[in-house]
Structure 1
């Protein structure tokens, strides 16, 4: 669902690069053939971040997933089980389009598009419009592959967990308690990790926060890779603030 002005940012940014593997905390395995829009973003055939299909040939994910250089980037769609991949039909080559305002220290504008080498037959998930605001305490879903606890083992089958959204004032207050003078980036949503044992972890980075059957957020970061919740709220990129960029990428990227 995952990384960050000071030493805090440096520590978190480093944690981002190390925490690869897709962690859902206190979640459950999804039924086969569900959440078909979920994408596994892979390097040399190995999962390192999540993503999700938003158009027939576009997957959305987190920009921080590519702080570390990736040499052989592909996306897998159409399976909840990464140990059961049809290479011919499920794997796609991609071209990457990172948001120009992405800051790899603060993780502001933590969003990237991946253009698939061919259209997918899978139904994309809907996105919010630019005016949409998610109310606090909205129950949402986050999903990802990999570990089921901090420093735990990786799993191949997709897992999901319900999390509640948290208002920005509370979110900022809790982060400022944890790290003095810390200010959250703009254009984010807070959900899970606070007041509950449920949440995402860095390895879920790039995956969607799904509310009311729409992908409203992208897993961005938590505090120093600590997934022993309750802790401070998890942070997601607010997709509604980037709708114009998603719709008109050719003005900014050649994909």
Structure 2
């Protein structure tokens, strides 16, 4: 037997990775629920283990998101253009006391955060929005996420995705301003993405219409390829998402944040070799590491952004900008001793750049000014 099953998820043919503390979410392919399925999660797999297409498939627990109300409260007009990477430390329109202690983001604090949703109509009289993955706004037309989140959608198995911006409380309409939904027009998976090994785990989503920036919706800045090494040694980076608070925990309704350091490749490899990955494990250059020692992203955070303070701006709250350094990819359990593994965004800048120039020419996505 060369597969393992963990918390509803059947995964990988890597025997070294099979064990109760392994997060297998990244090793599966999503399938749409059928009308005959029960509401509980169900795992299915192909009968042929030798067929290259016989990957395990799952139906994840459905998290229904509230629909955008028909009456939109418009945010105030902008007096000046919104720069990329500007974090609203005090929130937008309202500030919640005590949020930092429970690692809860302020409303609008991370305006680049995207909830990727699937409109589910199967067996329902009214469609509902089901959470798929986290993602991040990188320009007016483009959203980045992990390829493992959208690989099956790109194949056309079902293509009813939308990007929600301005989301904060997923289960209640408690925000000062309503969210904005944008249909995904096309998905571009990195041509060298390898689902079994999760290598080159990055995808671009092209939105049907450009995003209009506001005080609570704006893009993250992007790094240059040359800054790859520098961003692997930053002390105070931030991961955001609606994922679980522990391996067997519940999905979060309010956006959470975790402050973590990035980890140099050599240190990360050393720590991961002490796990079931074994002493010969080598970290592929398409990955970067962060966290460890009890702090990390978790299930449901896939595709969510890891952002770090820009190397080109000041450190005070008014001038600091954040740069997209990683996307949540995989890890050994949740919040364990080994670091979490993220998509290495600086490594992919040569691949990303042509899309940025095609869809949003002239846009300052570096934010150096």
For this structure pair, what is the TM-score category when the shorter chain's length is used for normalisation? 0.7 to 0.9
Given the two structures, how large is their TM-score scaled by the length of structure 1?
Answer: 0.84
What is the Cα deviation at residue 89 of structure 1?
Answer: 5.9
Q: Please identify, of 232-241 and 74-83, the stretch whose mean Cα deviation from structure 2 is larger.
A: 74-83
Structure 1 position 48 matched with structure 2 position 113: no
Q: Structure 2 vs 1, CA of residues 36 and 167 (structure 1 numbering), >3 Å: closer, same or farther?
A: same
Q: In structure 2, what is the equivalent of residue 82 of structure 1?
A: 170
Alignment coverage as a number of residue pairs: 241
Max Rg structure? 2
Q: In structure 2, what is the equivalent of residue 58 of structure 1?
A: 142
Q: In structure 2, what is the equivalent of residue 120 of structure 1?
A: 211
Q: Quote the Cα distance in structure 1 between the aligned partners of 2:194 and 2:327.
A: 15
Q: Quote the Cα distance in structure 2 between the aligned partners of 1:198 and 1:135.
A: 17
Q: In structure 2, what is the equivalent of residue 245 of structure 1?
A: 351
Q: In structure 2, what is the equivalent of residue 214 of structure 1?
A: 323
Q: In structure 2, what is the equivalent of residue 101 of structure 1?
A: 192
Q: Quote the Cα distance in structure 1 between the aligned partners of 2:290 and 2:261.
A: 5
Q: Structure 2 vs 1, CA of residues 234 and 52 (structure 1 numbering), >3 Å: closer, same or farther?
A: same
Given the two structures, how large is their TM-score scaled by the length of structure 2?
Answer: 0.59
The gaps in structure 1 that reach 5 residues or longer are: none
Q: Structure 2 vs 1, CA of residues 10 and 62 (structure 1 numbering), >3 Å: closer, same or farther?
A: farther
Q: Quote the Cα distance in structure 1 between the aligned partners of 2:295 and 2:116.
A: 23
The gaps in structure 2 that reach 5 residues or longer are: 1-10, 29-57, 64-100, 120-128, 310-321, 358-369
User: Would the aligned equivalents of 2:116 and 2:133 in 1 still touch at CA under 8 Å?
Assistant: yes
Q: In structure 2, what is the equivalent of residue 7 of structure 1?
A: 15
CA RMSD of the aligned region, Å? 2.9
* Cα deviation 1:136-181 (Å, max 9, x = unaligned): 2522000001322221122221100101111111111111121223
Q: Please identify, of 3-12 and 45-54, the stretch whose mean Cα deviation from structure 2 is larger.
A: 3-12
Q: In structure 2, what is the equivalent of residue 183 of structure 1?
A: 282
More strand by share: 1
More helix by share: 1
Q: Structure 2 vs 1, CA of residues 170 and 187 (structure 1 numbering), >3 Å: closer, same or farther?
A: same
User: Would the aligned equivalents of 2:268 and 2:289 in 1 still touch at CA under 8 Å?
Assistant: yes
Q: Structure 2 vs 1, CA of residues 156 and 9 (structure 1 numbering), >3 Å: closer, same or farther?
A: same
